[in-house]
Amino acid sequence: MKDVRKILLPMPSISNGEAALTRGYNFARRFGAHLAVLHVRPDGRDIAPLAGEGLSGAMVEDLMRTAEHESARHAHDVRALFDQFVAEHPDLVLVSGHAPIPMTGPSVSFKVVRGTESDIIPSQARLSDFTLVPHPDSGEEISSSETLHAVLFDSGRPVVMASRTPPKGLVKRVCIGWNGTAESSAALHGALAWAATAEAVRVLHCDDYQRRGPSAKEVLDYLAIHGIKADAVEFPPVDRDVGKGLLAACKDFDADMLAMGAYSHSRLRQLILGGVTRHVLEHAEIAVLMSR
The predicted-structure confidence for 50-68, as pLDDT tens digits, reads as follows: 555 666 677 777 777 777 7
- What contacts 252, CB < 8 A, 6 or more positions away? none
Give residue 28's pLDDT: 96
| Single-letter residue type at 260 | M
The predicted-structure confidence for 33-43, as pLDDT tens digits, reads as follows: 999 999 999 87
Q: What percent of the chain has pLDDT over 90?
A: 63
Over residues 194-222, the mean pLDDT reads: 94
Residue 80 pLDDT more than 50? yes
Residue 265 pLDDT more than 80? no
Q: Residue 176: which pLDDT band, with cuts at 50, 70 and 90?
A: very high
Beta-bridge partners for 107: 34, 93
Residue 149 pLDDT more than 50? yes
The residue that leads in pLDDT, 91 or 210, is 91
Give residue 143's pLDDT: 46
Is residue 182 within 8 Å of 169, Cβ to Cβ?
A: no
Q: How far is Cα 246 from Cα 282, in angstroms, rounded to an integer?
A: 13
Beta-carbon neighbour count of residue 266 at 10 Å? 10
Is residue 240 within 8 Å of 269, Cβ to Cβ?
A: no
With CA atoms as reference, report the closest residue to 283 among 139, 174, 149: 139
Half-sphere exposure of 251 (CA within 13 A, CB side): 10
Q: How far is Cα 273 from Cα 197, in angstroms, rounded to an integer?
A: 37
Q: What percent of the chain has pLDDT over 70?
A: 88
Is residue 240 within 8 Å of 207, Cβ to Cβ?
A: no
With CA atoms as reference, report the closest residue to 130 among 264, 280, 257: 257
